[in-house]
Amino acid sequence: MTTLGLIDPDRLALFRYSIVTWIDKDGFPFSVATDFILSENGEILLKKPSVPATMTGGRVGVLFNHITGIPTGGYTDRRYMLVWGTVSEDKGFLKLRPEEVSEWDEKILPFDKLCAAAVPQGKRYIESIQPSIDA
């Protein structure tokens, strides 16, 4: 496992790029695609984006995803890993320090089962906000 034991490096190696999202200095969300590498000691190093970025030290979301289109329509081989954490400059890269991770791989949990599993969570969410909707 990598930093904090949250991420399986073998699973992370299945992805080719990442999308980094953060809140900029004006309070707006900003996202940019970038490459990444896994260091020998399991650190996630993001290639610094070519756009000026003010994300260092702040909280970021990093999405690693993969999807394969089917020529006749639809998709297969869908999976993602979403990592929340902070980044710091490290020898020309941004070192990601993971704090939370969520992931899905349809080879492990088919899409229909993912949707069925999400129903109770969605129901609890709607019930929690219902009073504000009724107001």
CA angle 26, 84, 69 (to 5 degrees): 100
Give, in order, the Cα–Cα distances in Å from 122 to each of 36, 37, 119, 125. Answer: 33, 35, 5, 5
Q: Which of 96-100, 114-118, 122-126 has the highest mean pLDDT?
A: 96-100
For the segment 31-51, what is each residue's pLDDT rounded down to a tens digit? Answer: 999 999 998 888 999 998 877
Measure the CA–CA gap between 120 and 113, rounded to whole angstroms.
12
Structural domains present in the chain: 3-105 (2.30.110.10)
State the pLDDT at residue 65. Answer: 95
Phi, psi of 68 (to 5 degrees): -115, 125
User: What pTM did the predictor assign?
Assistant: 0.80
Contact 62, 82 (CB under 8 A): yes
